[in-house]
Structure 1
Amino acid sequence: MRISLPLKVFTFHVKSSESFYVLRKTYRTALGLALLAPLAASAQLGPWPIQTKQTAFEASIVKRDKDILWVERKSADGTRSPQIGLPVADVVQIGMPRPALFDAVEKIRLAPAATDRQFAAAHAALDKMILQLRSLRDLPGIPANEAMVAKARLYDAKGLWRESTRLYEDVVLKAAGTAAASNAQILAGIAYAQGGEHHSAVEYLGGIPLPEEDEEILSKLLFALGDSYFALGNYDNALLSYLPLVVFYPFVHDNEPRGLAAALACYAELKEWEPLYRAIQEIQKNYPAHPAAQTAAEFLEKYQKELIDAGQFVDAAKLTTADGAVAPAGVAGAPAAPEAPAAPATPTNETSNVQ
């Protein structure tokens, strides 16, 4: 007996000039969301290489029962073997490949046009993986903590700092001593700074080794630490956070102009007028079109009297605002340096022979 089901037809009503673009975008969005589910499901529990203190073999993970990991070894002829129990303490490494889901989620996190629906699908796929791997998260090679960090970074992208720091803290506490915990500590500190919890940001970021291999995270770390120190009134330590961005990492992520602009407020609070002037001059000279130039102009207008009165205003006529030279009426510029004394005349034969 054949049963006929009605066929649903979906019609897209778009302008002819836009039809190809709209249909292609709709197709790609639907395809991207559909791909996340199998990527999460692909995180099956093996078979993977398993290294123990005694031997190495390939097996699928069946379950964990407290301190025993039950696995099913892969036989040479492909037949199923009896399950064996491994002491968790004997497991040295599990060779689970990096899940493709991580890259898919990262693309969504970084995409400026990513939709809320795409973010929700990414969260759902990560939730499924985290649930599947949670009982194994303390085993070396199982990326459960990395999945939690990936989920927290999705929250960061939406400015949901409390949600993200909750996940980061979980990784820091339960995976102490691992690379995942170190990464989570840095990201938690940055999130705390973004959320205005500056004491927590300093607690997490102060004194932590800089992630030299990741210049994006390094830059965010130093700016977050500097901003938090500044908010807490610790202007010296704020400067010590901003200036390495200018000196050692100037050419990535606009660090030099951003770092100089951030340092201006520190110099002003510390009444360090000469460094303030020189930082303003550096911004105006090298980054006239950068937003930092507007910040420099604002500090110049606000503190020009202090700079001149302090006698630190060198080459004042060269430093200008949008309205012209900074020096007030009647002041052409900073006092000129005294002329160097004339060099003595080269002795002639006549004078050299005089005794």
Structure 2
Amino acid sequence: MNLQEAASAWKADAAQFEQLGAILPGVKSYVPDEFKHDFGLAMDAQPTLVTDPNSAVPAFLTTMIDPQVFKVLFSPNNAAVIFGENRKGTWLDETAMFPVVEHTGEVSSYGDFNENGRAGANTNWPQRQSYLFQTMKEYGDRELERAGLSKINWVSEIDVAAATVLNKFSNLTYFFGVAGLQNYGLLNDPNLSAALTPATKTAGGVKWINAGAIVATANEIYADIQAIFLQLVTQTGGLVDQNTKMVLAMSPGSSVALTATNSFNVNVSDLLKKNFPNLRIETAVQYGVTSASNPQGVAAGNFVQLIAESVEGQDTGYCAFNEKMRTHPIVRGSSSVKQKITAGTWGAVIRMPMAIASMVGV
């Protein structure tokens, strides 16, 4: 079939192709025989590649980076929530004295010429030592620009990291102080009374929760909290009563036990609200037992504290710092930047240890 015959054949078939939806206005003819050539290639075999085989385009061209950056979460810093927080002194102060005055005296029988009896005062000066700690912010010029390629504000993230690590350490000292100094925490101040032991439970043992399940009854859990309150009343000589503002502090896990319900469909939280109207419940992981997932816990077991916020108008105590965050000059290197950040802590300053009672092993 020559070129003229091939063109005529296409004209005859074009209308049929258009009815079937194949509209090819640029086609004028079938390929005539004279245009066909046999190059002697076998069509059933793929020729060997000269280049390395690939999967089309580079993978990064089909990779999307989500613009929403998620932050890794940490346990909350709850020491200041539980016990309050105050600034005492500055970073220049090594030692703080907290004066205590005790009124003394005696009376005697009256007589016109008697001069017996005496009123006086006794003073003590308990001390605490501060601890300064620091961290460094460092980043390079190329490091910043590389982070910018992924839409991450690297300087801002480093700033947040510095603030986070300082606050985390401060929170830790508020619970455990600093070893080797007169710097103690809410859980290990040597002036605190010995922790009580929970009562033995019907299910066996003394724990509220065991192997992930609440094993103590609501009444047993409430009775343990009553025992802590009784200890608090005894220690304070009646200065604390049911209407006193108090904090019941425990681990998040132990707080689940407060949902235990008795046969009258009343749970532990209900009983606490009814009998202690000014009680608030706070949690912190540091009250939990030490474990691989909770290295900041208490080795002896799950811990519970009942804290009277104030007695006779005087605060029981507070978490104290001398510097929350002090930034030092930015030091510019040849192609990098660094800056020191400093903070300081006195630990937890407990002015009235008698206003705190505790229990361990729940």
Q: Which has the greater radius of gyration?
A: 2
Category of TM-score, reference length = shorter chain: under 0.3
Structure with greater strand percent: 2
State TM-score, norm by structure 2.
Answer: 0.19
Q: Which has the higher contact order (CA 8 A, sep 6+)?
A: 2
State TM-score, norm by structure 1.
Answer: 0.20
Structure with greater helix percent: 1
